[in-house]
């Protein structure tokens, strides 16, 4: 007896999806909008329809070669979307769920995920430049060629595949075109202030770099109750927005003859309690360290450092007692924190609108990067 059985829903997601993606074939070239094939999710993997993605300087670092990754690659790591299908064994999300991909995964099993000290999962090293899924293969092909993943997320595509440890389910009412920023820029900056530095009420802070992440640091310092928030950027056009978000002073290093750390020490008497480097330049990293209070000041590196560069500095800067630390994804444990940050956004505890300067269709991604590079 032969019967025609309708295809169970669980098998619908097992097909290859053809869709548009912005492929970066080689360094220092524009993105190419191509048709790609996205393989179905394997065990413990999730395929996501990307609804909105942000453009971040870390993506641009790959294009310029400052961050070394294998090509061809689909970049993008700050996004929000809807689960299209799941592989075997996936329990934390299901098709139809609104989600944010996580470039810092949280496996929930390794010593870091189980401990309280850090947020960088040691099972799925987030910053490894392999360009593949945890099993060493990729889910993207284009023109017969395998295309690499970026930071385990690859969001510059209509569909992507991520490991289950790299996706968080969020409020089904959340506006994806806003909360996509919680996938990187907002969480990274805001968390650097409230989570990594643990800024206290009444303290003095300096923020170097007023892009989306730097402005999010300003918001974090304000939320933590800092009494003085000094915003530093070589583009004075960014000062109005920084003040709107809580900066008390704005200074442009180009307007001074002396080094900027000396200017900040003069402005504050002894230097700031907390400084944040949110650019990714070695010179500003050392300036940010030097401008904080010589005995108990803390300086946080938030901007991704260029791969090939070293820092040389006077060790006396640290010997007197300063603390120098880094912060990836704002120090948050991603899978735990992202749904809570989205919930806080829905409760209007912070606004994301000031961080969104332009909204472009996907095929204008190259124009988006031009706007990033010109500081607009």
Q: Show the domains of the chain with their CATH numbers.
A: 186-331 (3.40.50.720)
d(CA 189, CA 69): 24
Q: Which band of pLDDT confidence, cut at 50, 70 and 90, is reported for residue 364?
A: very high
The tens digit of pLDDT for each residue in 340-358 reads: 999 999 999 999 999 999 9
Per DSSP, 365 falls in state: H
Q: Which band of pLDDT confidence, cut at 50, 70 and 90, is reported for residue 240?
A: very high
**CA of residue 122 relative to chain centroid, distance:** 18
What predicted TM-score, i.e. pTM, was given to this entire model?
A: 0.92
User: Could you confirm whether 77 is annotated as catalytic?
Assistant: yes
How confident is the model at residue 10, as a pLDDT? 46
User: Could you confirm whether 61 is annotated as catalytic?
Assistant: yes
Which tokens go with 124?
Answer: 């799925």
- Tally: H helices and E strands in the chain: 12, 15
The tens digit of pLDDT for each residue in 159-211 reads: 999 999 999 999 999 999 999 999 999 999 999 999 999 999 999 999 999 99
Q: Quick check: 5 pLDDT over 50?
A: no
How confident is the model at residue 60, as a pLDDT? 92
How confident is the model at residue 3, as a pLDDT? 46
Q: How far is CA 208 from CA 61, 182, 217, in A?
A: 18, 21, 10
User: Could you confirm whether 299 is annotated as catalytic?
Assistant: no
d(CA 222, CA 218): 6
The tens digit of pLDDT for each residue in 80-128 reads: 999 999 999 999 999 999 999 999 999 999 999 999 999 999 887 766 6
Task: Write down the residue that tokens 């393989």 correspond to.
Answer: 39
The tens digit of pLDDT for each residue in 259-297 reads: 999 999 999 999 999 999 999 889 999 999 999 999 999
Provide the β-strand partners of residue 99.
81, 169
The length of the chain in residues reads 376
The tens digit of pLDDT for each residue in 215-236 reads: 999 999 999 999 999 999 999 9
Annotated catalytic residue, options 58, 154, 187, 275: 58
Q: How far is CA 249 from CA 197, 296, 357, 365, in A?
A: 20, 22, 22, 34
Per DSSP, 129 falls in state: T
Annotated catalytic residue, options 107, 180, 184, 250: 184
How confident is the model at residue 128, as a pLDDT? 67
Which tokens go with 112?
Answer: 């870091």
Q: Quick check: 134 pLDDT over 90?
A: no
Which tokens go with 232?
Answer: 């530093």
Q: Which residues contact 344 (CB under 8 A, 6 or more apart)?
A: 350
How confident is the model at residue 1, as a pLDDT? 44
SS3 at position 112: helix
Query: To the nearest whole number, what is the mean pLDDT of the chain?
Result: 93
Annotated catalytic residue, options 56, 107, 221, 291: 56
User: Could you confirm whether 19 is annotated as catalytic?
Assistant: no
SS3 at position 375: coil
Q: Which band of pLDDT confidence, cut at 50, 70 and 90, is reported for residue 8?
A: very low
User: Could you confirm whether 184 is annotated as catalytic?
Assistant: yes
């Amino acid at each position: 007896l032969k019967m025609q059985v309708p295809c169970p829903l669980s098998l619908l997601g097992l097909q290859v999806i053809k869709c548009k993606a912005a492929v970066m074939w080689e360094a220092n070239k524009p993105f190419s909008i191509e048709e790609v094939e996205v393989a179905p999710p394997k065990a413990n993997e999730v395929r996501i329809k990307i609804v909105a993605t942000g453009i971040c300087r870390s993506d641009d670092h790959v294009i310029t070669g400052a961050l070394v990754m294998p090509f061809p690659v689909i970049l993008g790591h700050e996004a929000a979307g809807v689960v299209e299908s799941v592989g075997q064994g996936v329990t934390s999300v299901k098709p139809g769920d609104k989600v944010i991909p996580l470039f810092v995964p949280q496996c929930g099993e390794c010593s870091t995920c189980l401990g309280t000290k850090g947020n960088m999962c040691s099972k799925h090293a987030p910053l490894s430049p392999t360009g593949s899924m945890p099993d060493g293969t990729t889910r993207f092909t284009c023109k017969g060629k395998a295309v690499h993943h970026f930071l385990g997320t690859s969001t510059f595509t209509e569909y992507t595949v991520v490991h289950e440890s790299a996706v968080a389910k969020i409020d089904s009412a959340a506006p994806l075109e806003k909360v996509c920023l919680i996938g990187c820029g907002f969480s990274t900056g805001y968390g650097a202030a409230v989570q990594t530095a643990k800024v206290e009420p009444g303290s003095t802070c300096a923020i170097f770099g007023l892009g989306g992440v730097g402005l999010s640091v300003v918001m974090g310092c304000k939320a933590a109750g800092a009494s003085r928030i000094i915003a530093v950027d070589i583009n004075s056009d960014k000062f109005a927005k920084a003040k709107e978000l809580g900066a008390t002073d704005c200074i442009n290093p180009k307007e001074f003859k002396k080094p900027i750390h000396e200017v900040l020490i003069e402005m504050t008497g002894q230097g700031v309690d907390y400084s944040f480097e949110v650019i990714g330049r070695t010179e500003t990293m050392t300036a940010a360290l030097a401008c904080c209070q010589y005995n108990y000041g803390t300086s946080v590196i938030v901007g991704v450092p260029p791969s090939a560069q070293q820092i040389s500095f006077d060790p006396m800067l640290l010997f007197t007692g300063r603390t120098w630390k880094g912060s990836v994804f704002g120090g948050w444990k991603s899978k735990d924190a992202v749904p809570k940050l989205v919930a806080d956004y829905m409760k209007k505890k912070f606004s994301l609108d000031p961080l969104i300067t332009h909204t472009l269709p996907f095929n204008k991604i190259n124009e988006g990067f031009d706007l990033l590079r010109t500081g607009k």
